[in-house]
Structure 1
Amino acid sequence: MIFFLIALFVFLLDWNIKNYIEDKFHMGKRKDIFNGKVTIKKQYNSGFCLNFLDNKKELVKKVTAIVFGVLALAYVIIIPGKHKSMKKLGLSLCLGGAASNVLDRFKRGYVIDYFTINIKPIKNIVFNLADIFIFIGSFITFLTSLSDGSSIHPNIEE
């Protein structure tokens, strides 16, 4: 149950921030926070990461829906199993973030990104929290898969 709540928290946190940004920020408005280390601004992303294939909205929708479905299936298979708490955490972070981005894409036709981290190599990339949770969750899932010698599928012999 805790892992479902983590996924739900991630989803609701990002979804509510996106709705706030959509309502309160116009394109071009910027607000620096954390002593200028982070900038809040609104940007629409119709493609994959970095607007890749933004001119192919339907393809992007289909691919993200399929990937989300595979992730949800892996989640349903892994969560009831014993042990593997870190892998469950990783999948929960991924699922919550992916759910927010997929809903955004299907409801609005694009994903709302809303902050930049003002570090030279990435200062021009606009993210949302869902992206960060997906990255962290993927990293945790990958590391735990390496350390236990498995993939994301459950060990049938458990």
Structure 2
Amino acid sequence: MKTPLMLFVIAVAAVADQVTKALALSLLSAGMPFSILPGFNLTLSFNEGASFGMLSGVMSGKPLVMAGLTGVLTLGLAVVAFRSRHPLERAGFALIVGGSLGNIIDRVRQGAVTDFLDFYWRDWHWPTFNLADIAIFLGAMCIIATAVPLRSRKGSADGQT
């Protein structure tokens, strides 16, 4: 993946995240689920912590600290992305960087990350998330896919047939 394409993936992930969050903020009321399908609601919520609300108690009221920490990690991942030579790995890092930027924008702009995708089973709800989180997850899957060695269909991993 060439650098301009990688920058495009970063921008699309961040912009798509911000557009969907703007729609959620304008169309949904906090804590009021809007049913889409059995097992899936749109439910507006705000996360001051890290992924899945971890550290929300520690980071409550400290959005710039959280944005700064996330920013440092994102910058490090961007450097790795630009140094990587494997196209799928570069795409994975680009998705992670773009998703992370989307969440950093929320922290700086409003003090918390906007979440609205709510999957559940009966009374159990997966932590609410957003498009940035999907980009980060897909990016991680791309990176993992490049790390898993594939065996040849004709022979074993050591080259013997």
The answer as to 2:31 corresponding to 1:25 is no
Structure 1 residues 41-120: aligned runs within 5 Å: 41-55=43-57, 56=59, 57=62, 58-78=64-84, 81=85, 84-119=86-121
TM-score by length of 1: 0.79
Cα displacement string for residues 122-154 of structure 1 (whole angstroms, at most 9, x for unaligned residues) = 724101011111011012112313439xxxxxx
The question of whether the paired residues in 1 share the 8 Å contact of 2:39 and 2:120 is answered with yes
Superposed displacement of residue 103, structure 1: 1.1
Describe the shift of the 1:61–1:7 C-alpha distance in structure 2 as closer, same or farther (beyond 3 A): closer
The question of whether the paired residues in 2 share the 8 Å contact of 1:46 and 1:109 is answered with yes
Cα displacement string for residues 91-127 of structure 1 (whole angstroms, at most 9, x for unaligned residues) = 1211111110111111211100111122469724101
Amino acid across the alignment from 2:31: G
Describe the shift of the 1:124–1:72 C-alpha distance in structure 2 as closer, same or farther (beyond 3 A): same
The question of whether the paired residues in 2 share the 8 Å contact of 1:53 and 1:60 is answered with no
Q: CA RMSD in A?
A: 2.1
Residue in 2 that maps onto 1:151? none
Counterpart of 2:149 in 1: which secondary structure? helix
Aligned length: 143
Aligned-pair identity in percent equals 22
The question of whether the paired residues in 1 share the 8 Å contact of 2:81 and 2:89 is answered with no
Residue in 2 that maps onto 1:147? 149
Larger displacement relative to structure 2 (53-62 or 132-141): 53-62
Describe the shift of the 1:121–1:95 C-alpha distance in structure 2 as closer, same or farther (beyond 3 A): farther
Provide structure 2 residue ranges, at least 5 long, that are not aligned to the other structure: 151-161
Within 2, Cα distance between the matches of 1:117 and 1:141?
25
Provide structure 1 residue ranges, at least 5 long, that are not aligned to the other structure: 149-158
Larger radius of gyration: 2
